[in-house]
Amino acid sequence: MPLPQEFSLNLERDTSFQDVVDKLQAPITDIQILLPLLCFPLGSARILPPQYRKYNTLRGNTSTTDNVSRVFAVLQRILLETVLPTWEVILEEEGYAPLVHQCFCPDAFVNASMAAGNVALCAYSTILALPINQRSIDLLLRLAKEYPIDRLFTAVSTIPDVARRSVTWDDCLSNLFAVPAKVANALAGRGVPSQLGVPEYLDNLSLRCEYLIHALSTSFGPG
């Protein structure tokens, strides 16, 4: 699953995002190989938790935050389809699960950053485009709590191109309203977490819409 050429960092023998993608898709034999591959894109987007910075050992331009959406869309799909089916249990046992969570639902310390909002937007699209399982349900539970509609609106509003901003917001709304049905269908209506079930999920969505409308009315109101 190659990234477009312009998304590589193209430094002399430095690590690029394409290198990370290629290595994540290849067999990984040791967790010490996996950890730097997870840390590199997080460090590049400036959302790597401080306790894991010691594993961010790959050379490369880790200050760029360009193209976060496209890079993480590819990364998230590879994690869900290739990496986590093999490594999820080990990562949890060794205390590295937060690194994976950060690739989908960045934590409260970076929640307000532009990159974090873009990562969460990508996560909704990536998760809902793949078959729903317990792993993706757990991520959706995190996203529903940490990145509700008003937070996602803030992320979308930072997109400078008007046409792209409009399309992204339409996609965001479609994803948000699709969550309960996707989860219910995947679980055949049994054992659906209450937070993702229709009554509670839509109640919370409505409440966050009220917050958003209030915030917008305050921002654009007189005085």
Q: Give tens-digit pLDDT for 155-184.
A: 999 999 999 999 999 999 999 999 999 999
- Read off the pLDDT band of 69 (50, 70, 90): confident
- State residue 219's pLDDT score: 75
7: alpha, beta or left? (left if phi > 0; alpha if psi -120 to 50): alpha
Distance, in Å, from the CA atom of 223 to the CA atom of 203, rounded to the nearest integer, reads 32
Distance, in Å, from the CA atom of 85 to the CA atom of 157, rounded to the nearest integer, reads 35
Q: What percent of the chain has pLDDT over 70?
A: 90
Query: Which amino acid does the sequence have at 12?
Result: E
Report CA 159 to chain centroid distance, whole Å: 17
Query: Which amino acid does the sequence have at 39?
Result: C
Contact yes or no for 104/127 (Cβ under 8 A): yes
Q: Which two tokens stand for residue 69?
A: 């959406």
pLDDT over 70 (residue 23): yes
* pTM to 2 decimal places: 0.89
Helix 162-186 and helix 149-157: axis angle, to 10°? 150
